[in-house]
Amino acid sequence: MTKRWRFICLGVVLALVLSLGAVLVAQAGPGLNSATPPDGYEPQPTEEKHGATDALLIQDVDPWNYNSNELALTELGISYDVINSTNLGTVDLSQYKFIMYASDQPTSYYTNLAANIAAIEAFVSGGGLLIGHVCDWAWANGDWTTEHILPGNVQHVNAYEQDLVIVDITHPIVRGTPPGNFDIYGTDPNYFDGWSSSTHGYLTNLPPNADVVIEIESGANAGQPTYIDYPFGSGKVLATMQTVEWGYGADGMPRSWPELLRNELRYGAWVPPVAVAVGGEVYPVNKAAVLVPWIALAVAIIAGASVVLRRRGARS
């Protein structure tokens, strides 16, 4: 082979390698992050859905143009309704087991939540669960600064952070529901690192009895809470500034961190018939499921003993 042909072959190989690299980079979405929308971004309006009684999703647009919340609810077999925030005042919240905010919404969404906070607080205080995805400063350019959208008026400070640390490794959103269903910490203690971004800020004005589940790991904001759990009346609030739906992904763009959203929804749909304290946590106990095997065993023992006694009586 002449030197000329060697250079031609080398050039062809190099062109193929560069082309393949460009394709892989394009598929990976170079520079795609939860803070800055891609060129040509248009928010996708969320269609309302009615007829269920397990969960209510309050959402105006798909977070980061992914319909993650609805896909996860469907995946887990949880029946749900969807309403836009403008219609929140027309809905009876008491029919639901839990209600859910969506991340990355326009500012008008947060204004509508604040206008209906009395009804939301009444729902939670009466024993309901609120899963509050309150991550703003995202693609839809929403901002809820100073708005009262969380029970007890929990507030926030915006800051894009990459590395988080799990503080409460026993919490159901970390351990799974029932415990161990999917143990995030047991699988990967660094699960919440490097999401581009992992959180858009941290929560402030926390109630004194709030449980900090996840916090910022390092830097100027180290130790600030990004995911909290706190009681409100007879109910409970899960609130987070983390990019939950971004991690789940959807519509042909799967990501690597779907289990936080799944664990939240498993917990929300899990309504125990009887609750007992175990190791500081509350787990459901189905009395029938516990007693039936023991009753069956007792019946079998009594029946077996009766047969043995009859046989001995016959021999004697």
Q: Name the CATH code of domain 55-269 (choices 3.40.50.620, 3.90.580.10, 3.90.226.10, 3.40.50.880).
A: 3.40.50.880
> Is the C-alpha dihedral spanning 101, 192, 231, 111 positive or negative?
negative
Question: Residue 243 above 50 pLDDT?
Answer: yes
Query: What is the average per-residue pLDDT within 128-153?
Result: 98
Cβ neighbourhood burial of 238 (10 Å; 0-12, 13-18, 19+):
buried
Instruction: Of 48-52, 126-130, 188-192, 255-259, give the lowest mean pLDDT range.
Output: 255-259
pLDDT band at 297; cut points 50, 70, 90: low
Distances from the Cα of 309 to the Cα of 95, 295, 296, 297, 301, angstroms: 57, 21, 20, 18, 12
Mean pLDDT lowest among 49-58, 60-69, 157-166, 180-189: 180-189
Question: What residues have CB less than 8 Å from 230, skipping those under 6 apart?
Answer: 152, 154, 206, 207, 209, 210, 211, 236, 237, 239
When mean pLDDT is compared across 2-16, 74-88, 191-205, 221-235, the lowest value belongs to 2-16
CA distances to 170, 185, 302 from 167, rounded to whole Å, are 9, 10, 51
Tell me the pLDDT band of 184, cut-offs 50, 70 and 90. Answer: very high
Angle, alpha carbons 206-212-215 (nearest 5°)? 105
What is the pLDDT confidence band of residue 261, given thresholds at 50, 70 and 90? very high
- Number of other residues whose CB lies within 10 A of the CB of residue 174: 24
